[in-house]
Amino acid sequence: MTTYKRAVAVFALLLGSVFALIALAAPSNAAYTPKITINSPVCTSGTVTGSGFQPNEAVTLTVSGTTVGSAKTDSTGNFTTTATFPSSITGNKVLTGTGAGGDTASTQVKVNTDCGIAGQSSSRANPSSSSSSGTQGLSATGVAVWTIGGLGVLLLAAGALFTFGGRRGRRA
């Protein structure tokens, strides 16, 4: 085997190993499935919980284009915060949580105009069915795992071909 072929084989094997290790160590390229719900709301505000967002991400809550709350997710992509509904928002609305990474989740909210008698709490926003939109699974990390892994396998195969192919040629 010539020095050139040996150098190419070693380089291909090393580069293939690096790409294979990167692919194995990288987080999955699946996307997050964010979800929000609103629980136990009172007259003008309600507790919103979210899950499936990216870790340590800022999430903005909006209804009809009006910001009604914000939160920062924990290390697992979950949050709990309070949404405050202005008196201009009434009726059946969609509460949307949008993460800084672009993932969104929505839930239906019924906002009532009757806030009850002073000193009493009555329900103004009630939870309904929740749904999420955006991507499925975990959030994209920017690492194309299958591409890098495939390239790593191809480079490993090329290195093995040069290594073992060169040995066969020398023996013949």
- pLDDT tens over the chain, length 172 residues: 577 777 777 787 777 777 777 766 655 545 678 999 985 455 678 889 999 999 999 999 999 899 999 999 999 999 999 998 888 887 788 899 999 989 999 998 877 756 654 433 334 444 444 444 444 444 455 556 667 777 777 877 777 777 777 655 555 5
pTM, entire model: 0.53
Residue 159 one-letter amino acid: G
> Beta 79-84 vs 45-51: how paired, if at all?
antiparallel
Q: What Cα–Cα distance (Å) separates residue 17 from each residue in 62, 154, 166?
A: 47, 10, 20
Give me the pLDDT at residue 145, please: 64
**Angle at alpha carbon of residue 143, lines to 138 and 140, rounded to 5°:** 25
Cα–Cα distances (Å) from 74 to 88, 96, 102, 105, 109, in that order, read: 31, 19, 17, 17, 25
What are the backbone angles phi and psi of residue 139, rounded to the nearest 5°? -70, 145
Based on DSSP, count helices (H) and strands (E) in the chain, helices before strands: 2, 8
